Amino acid sequence: MAIPAKTKASKAPRDGAKSTATKVPQPAGPSTEGETLIAPGGETHQQADGPDTQLTTNQGVPIADNQNSLKAGARGPVLLQDFILREKITHFDHERIPERVVHARGSAVHGFFECLDSCADVTSADFLQRPGERVPVFTRFSTVAGNKGSADLPRDVRGFAVKFYTGQGNFDLVGNNMPVFFIQDAIKFPDLIHAAKQDPDREFPQAATAHDTFWDFISLTPESMHMIMWAMSDRAIPRSLRMMEGFGVHTFRLINAEGISTFVKFHWRPKLGSQSVVWDEAVKINGADPDFHRRDLWEAIEGGDFPEWEFCLQAFTQEQADGFDFDVLDATKLIPEEVIPLRVVGRMVLDRNPDNFFAETEQVAYCAAHVVPGIDFTNDPLLQGRLFSYQDTQLKRLGGPNFHQIPINQPKCPFHNLQRDGHMQMGVPKGQVNYEPSTLGADVARESLERGYHTFPNPEAGEQLRLRPETFADHYTQARLFFASQTKPEQDHIIAALVFELSKCVTPRVREAVLSRLIHIDAFLAQSVAEGLGFTGQIVPAPAPISAKDMDPSPMLSILAKAQPTLDGRKVGVMVSDGCDEALVAKLKAAVEAAGARLQVIAPTIYGVTTAGGELLPADHRIDGGPSVLFDAVAILPSQDGGEQLAMEAAAVNFLRDAYGHLKAIAYLPSAGPLFAAGGITDVGPDDDAGLIALPDASLDAFIAAASAGRVWAREPLVRPPPKPLVVAA
């Protein structure tokens, strides 16, 4: 196997050496060759010399030397008059804006929204009127609790924010990948986030709720228990941003051309289906590739595998709302799809990555108050607080009231008003008039009763009170519904997540207070968590003004109950060695791609392996840089000698051991036997485990079918036995 020769490294000058970059002047007159730079190490490279490539200051002044500060002598002090240095350093010092208080780590993509079904019956919103009509969108996905530099796969809620650039202005649907929230009133949001973020005295843990302050707050805030079921479920560790559902969370209003109001909840359903990872896998992904979600989204779009979601409405009338046994203004509640089915009215396709992360993803300003005619708000007290908070946050982050002039935030329809001046004003408004009404300017922007935004005239009356309505008081019924609607593996994962998180709490009172809430949701749940914690005392139920009621399970609340077999958009890893069968690898690649997935090769070196036929098979990953946690299914296809050699490499053994422990489909040749032995996987085979595909006896079609079926949940009790609940008096 031919390995490219390494480039000889140049020697850098020692500290204090008087070596500086010098320029070799070119002949006078125009030159297409530019000038040659001699760097400190002696290397040379050509610099272009044309009007489109001339380096300048921000004022357009051409720069002659971008390598050296202006000094008084070659080794003298730098002069204050060096305006090139000062501009460059000043911009660098200020190139980071304050990160978002929450949702700091995010990825965003351009795309389009296409109307599929006219919604004229329920809304006058222009972008929902004509099937086939498209409007641009910019969609940002994010974690909530972590800072900008945190990893992609903490156990956390994910933000799901879509900016529609419609003909009537921008509509920002700022939601999450979970349909409910922790709190009912926005006045509690600072407390929630302070409790969930790093402890203020020690500034850790990062992007994690497994600490005392969060669970202390939760134990004292029973309205959070429904959201806790979601946050401890597999929804909090999604396989991909492309495989998440999205929700508007709140109840909004739709208003049609006749002024009739309909309540609505907004839903996004991924075309690829929903999928999550398991917790041990999430921990290892964060170590192997902390940019796992960001990279997955970027590569999918660069490869033309454009993510797509259905846009759905859950529309209902005031009369229907009055008949529910919960309050639709309560953001900790959802409407089961069995009660109000989803109506598919559009689709979103994301098809272009940003050109510049800072200019677009970082500076995009979503605001819950950005709505268009035909969409209005309700009195949800959490939503009402967001209508103020988002605008206020953008003023802080982006420097002033003109953040709407940043290109990513600008409407794509004409916009005119009489607002002037302010920090970072980019426009040059003309004319004498900056007020309204006026008789002095014939072309001044004016209001329009016919085309303007109309707020729904909902009659409001009541005393001024700081009071939570009684209809918000049932904190446990829907939490019980969610837990009861999960499959057995999903319930086990919720239990395991609670055990893990509460085990990180050092204060016994906090753990026991949470148990006193969980017992209201489900006795098996609470007792299983107690067993996992080793708590042998009596679980004393906390006071509950309303006892949980039993509801019929909702399979649509479960990822696994509604999952369909698919490999579309997934990744398969194949581990090979020198002497491997290139024909078999090629057949596997064809089968994987035919199923809509991508195949990547993992080898002992990044340059690849030499196959049995003497050909170079390039690698996508070296074994220790391409662990099985990065793939949805794996194949292990070494040569006979290669299998024995791989069995002596810890990374290769862990590749197989993790794939097995994370319940993935595994295709393998007999030559992989030493790896199985080294990994301790010796008591099971294809007859015992549907996810183990022995080649060449089985077909590649069998492997594709097993991989498409998802994880082998029947294997989980063998690798992660769930805790057995104690019999504890409630």
654 is catalytic: no
CA angle centred on 691, ends 685 and 697, rounded to 5°:
60
Task: Give the integer Cα–Cα distance in Å for 155 and 497.
Answer: 9
Decide: 678 and 653 in contact? Cβ < 8 Å. Answer: yes
The active-site residue, picked from 45, 170, 176, 416, is 176
Q: Which of 22, 63, 65 is nearest to 40 (CA)?
A: 22
Q: Two tokens at 675? A: 């790896």
How many helices and strands, by DSSP H and E, does the chain display? Answer: 18, 21
Q: How far is CA 522 from CA 108, 549, 725, in A?
A: 39, 11, 12
Long-range CB contacts for residues 672-678, cutoff 8 Å, separation at least 24 = 672/636, 672/637, 672/638, 672/643, 672/646, 673/643, 674/643, 674/644, 674/646, 674/647, 675/636, 675/638, 675/643, 675/646, 675/647, 677/647, 678/647, 678/648, 678/653
**DSSP state letters, 5-61:** PPPPPPPPPPTT-----EEEPPPSS--SS-EEEE-TTS-EEEE--STTT--B-TT-P
Q: Measured between alpha carbons, how far apart are the two ends of the chain, in Å? A: 69
Q: Which of 66, 91, 103, 370 is catalytic?
A: 103
**103 an active-site residue?**
yes
What's at 33, amino acid-wise? Answer: E
The contacts of residue 352 (CB under 8 Å, 6+ apart) are 109, 110, 111, 301
CA distances from 5 to 2, 617, 618 (A): 9, 19, 17
Q: Is 350 within 8 Å of 96 (Cβ atoms)? A: no
Which H helix or E strand runs over 345? strand 343-352
In the block, tokens 């919604």 appear at 119
The secondary structure element, H or E, covering residue 267 is strand 261-270
Distance (Å, rounded) from C-alpha 184 to C-alpha 381? 7
Per the CB < 8 A criterion, the answer to whether 214 and 192 are in contact is no
Find the angle CA(426)-CA(453)-CA(343) to the nearest 5 degrees. 110
- What are residue 107's phi and psi, to 5 degrees? -130, 140
For 466-485, b/e burial (b = at least 16 CB within 10 A) is: eeeeeebbbbbbbbbbbbbb
Q: 307, 242 in Cβ contact below 8 A?
A: yes
Supply the residues annotated as catalytic.
103, 176
